[in-house]
């Protein structure tokens, strides 16, 4: 991030005002991506989700053998868990977060794809562990415009992995199943780079998916 910001400062003149401007921009990008987890909001949403699930589904079944394997993997010291998931419904993120949290794996950081949502919903999802791509990472932006957001995203992914917070990445969108979506490519790039650069010694990739008799 420092290198990217320094290059932008140099191109913009290099005065102290420019440095503060780019520092504020970095902080703004981070604030737009994620927020500190809110325990009261988490508890309230877990309570509401339990009642919602009871109305939507007859049952939610979890494979105990696979869960035990994941719990053993989570105890591996110094190696973070990254859950790579298919995406059958917009409820998948909430369900996965709820299931992982209820099984003692902590609250994961869930990469939110191209979900169009209001500012209030976006703020709520960030408090629940949702992570959005930084502004400026859209495909239509030029490489120069994406330089700083890409550096912020790479640093953020590295810090999440280093702190061993579970990370959930969706490989597809509900409307286009069985195709690696562009958002997933953006998230996978800094993930691979973090391992290659030695930010973390290794990453445990856990394939997950939720199957529905009838997707909501």
Write out pLDDT tens, residues 52-89.
888 888 877 888 888 888 888 888 888 899 999 887 77
Average predicted confidence (pLDDT) for the chain: 81
Token pair 């992914």: residue: 157
The per-residue pLDDT for range 32-44, each reduced to its tens digit, is 888 888 888 888 9
| Per-residue pLDDT at 161 | 92
Instruction: In whole angstroms, give the CA distance from residue 22 to residue 13.
Output: 12
Angle of the 2-11 helix axis to the 16-33 helix axis, nearest 10: 140
Tell whether the model's pLDDT for residue 180 goes beyond 80. Answer: yes
pLDDT at 138: 58
What are the sequence ranges of the domains in the chain? 2-208
- C-alpha dihedral, 46 to 134 to 105 to 77, nearest 10°: -170
Among 29-33, 97-101, 120-124, 172-176, which stretch is predicted with the lowest mean pLDDT?
172-176
Assign 3-class secondary structure to 73-118.
HHCCCCCCEEEEECCCCCCHHHHHHHHHHHCCCCCCEEECCCCCCC
pLDDT at 92 over 80: yes
């Amino acid at each position: 991030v420092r290198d990217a910001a320094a290059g932008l400062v140099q191109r913009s003149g290099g005065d102290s005002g420019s440095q503060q401007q780019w520092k504020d921009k970095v902080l703004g990008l981070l604030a737009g991506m994620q927020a500190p987890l809110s325990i009261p909001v988490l508890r309230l949403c877990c309570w509401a989700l339990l009642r919602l699930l009871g109305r939507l589904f007859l049952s939610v079944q979890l494979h105990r053998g696979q869960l035990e394997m994941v719990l053993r993997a989570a105890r591996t010291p110094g190696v973070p868990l990254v859950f790579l998931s298919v995406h059958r419904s917009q409820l998948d993120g909430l369900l996965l977060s709820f299931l992982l949290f209820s099984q003692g794996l902590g609250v994961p950081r869930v990469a939110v794809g191209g979900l169009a949502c209001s500012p209030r919903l976006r703020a709520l999802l960030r408090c629940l562990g949702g992570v959005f791509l930084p502004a400026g990472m859209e495909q239509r932006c030029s490489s120069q415009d994406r330089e700083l957001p890409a550096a912020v995203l790479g640093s953020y992914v590295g810090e999440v992995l280093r702190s061993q917070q579970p990370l959930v990445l969706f490989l597809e969108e509900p409307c286009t199943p069985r195709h690696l979506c562009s958002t997933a490519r953006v998230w996978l790039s800094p993930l691979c780079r973090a391992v290659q650069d030695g930010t973390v010694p290794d990453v445990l990739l856990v394939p997950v998916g939720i199957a529905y008799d009838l997707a909501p």
